[in-house]
Amino acid sequence: MNDSSQDGRSPPPARRPATRVVTAGRDPKSYHGFVNPPVYHASTMLYPSAEDFLAHRARYQYGRRGTPTTEALELALQEIEGGNCAGVSLLPSGLAAISTALLSVVQAGDHVLVTDSAYGPTRNYCEGILKRLGVTTSYFDPLIGGGIAEQFRPNTRAVFVESPGSLTFEMQDVTATAKVAHDKGATVLMDNTWATPLFYRALDFGVDLSIQAGTKYIGGHSDLMLGTVSANSATVASLKNTVRLSGLCEGPDDVYLGLRGLRTLAVRLDRHYASGVRCGALAGAAAGSVAHTAPGAGKPSGSRTVEARFHRRFGPVQRGAQAGAAAGGVCFPRYARIVRHRRVVGRF
């Protein structure tokens, strides 16, 4: 994929986040004035001459390496992530984004610290693939904050956080965790799917690689698979190299749907939030009391300061879902089933 820093476009003017998701990454001048980029279905490129081909003299080189469509979504996400983002890679799913980001950091003999509240398949990847490659993983209490220092080993290379955590929704002290990790020379990765960079610009809080399952809120309509990894200047080269060497890319139609979904992210998240809070209240009323750890619920989901760092709101619908699960599945029996099988179930 192309490095967006080399594309020659001038930096965009500062805009509010909700405006930015509508305008970011757009370049109508390149598409005859049309607002959106065309969907490039592309593999082989034709170069003006053999010499140009041999010297790779072209802005785009091969479909897998990036097209104007993929570049538009990468640039849009980069703009939304803010000034600490040095580049974005698109992957075929959220899980592919997680595995690729991890692979871009670790090598045989390394140790990785992963939050106990991580999305289940993240743990499966660590136990199923990283272990086979000689990388060990241990899991830490998501509420441990700066206390994570005690979990470090001499070979700890990376810390993987997810906040709010999947299904249990603890808010991690990402800033404190990142400080400890950086002091010890480790890289910080975050699954930022729940908050999205609209509610939490993870790279501004010390995260080096911020991951999203774009399948969820960016897509927004359950009709695409998409993973994204946003990197800071310390990690972007290794990320891009890992993506390139692995031959990973995202299909053009899903990229386009991702771009289209992104444009309504702000209004959808606001509505999700309102619905989530209402569902949580209904579930609480139905069950008498709800013992959930959702941010703002008065339970130990993380400190107020930590929660306040998230722009406004987080994990909007899931917050309601979690309340339903904790209330015995009154509103969300599926979540209740999943939660009962989690190791961290004791926290409810």
Ligand X SMILES: Cc1ncc(COP(=O)(O)O)c(C=O)c1O
Binding region for ligand X (CB under 6 A): 93-95, 119, 166, 191, 193, 213, 215, 225, 227
Q: How far is the CB of 191 from ligand X (least distance, A)?
A: 5
**81 or 191: whose CB is closer to ligand X?**
191
**2 or 100: whose CB is closer to ligand X?**
100
Q: How far is the CB of 260 from ligand X (least distance, A)?
A: 17
Q: How far is the CB of 164 from ligand X (least distance, A)?
A: 9
CB distance 293 to 170 below 8 Å = yes
Q: Is 64 a catalytic residue?
A: yes
Q: How far is the CB of 28 from ligand X (least distance, A)?
A: 30
**225 or 265: whose CB is closer to ligand X?**
225
Catalytically annotated residue among 64, 184, 244, 342? 64
Cross-strand pairs, 213 = 227
Please give the full DSSP string across 274-296, using - where no structure is assigned.
HHHHHHHHHHHHHHS------TT
Q: How far is the CB of 112 from ligand X (least distance, A)?
A: 16
Q: Please tell me whether residue 115 adopts helix, strand or coil conformation.
A: strand
Catalytically annotated residue among 20, 119, 208, 347? 119
Q: How far is the CB of 207 from ligand X (least distance, A)?
A: 15
Phi, psi of 211 (to 5 degrees): -110, 145
Residue number, nearest CB to ligand X: 94
Residues 6+ apart with CB under 8 A from 230: 77, 78, 81, 85, 87, 88, 197, 202, 203, 209, 210, 211, 212
DSSP state of 132: T
**193 or 322: whose CB is closer to ligand X?**
193
**66 or 94: whose CB is closer to ligand X?**
94
Q: Please tell me whether residue 195 adopts helix, strand or coil conformation.
A: coil
Please give the full DSSP string across 49-96, using - where no structure is assigned.
SHHHHHTT-SS---GGG--HHHHHHHHHHHHHH-TT--EEEEESSHHH
Catalytically annotated residue among 116, 191, 208, 254? 191
Q: Is 119 a catalytic residue?
A: yes
Edge-first strand listing for the sheet containing 156-162: 87-91, 227-231, 209-213, 187-191, 156-162, 111-115, 136-140
**208 or 254: whose CB is closer to ligand X?**
254
**Other residues' Cβ atoms within 10 Å of the Cβ of residue 234:** 12
Catalytically annotated residue among 65, 184, 216, 260? 216
DSSP state of 129: I
Positions marked catalytic: 64, 119, 191, 216
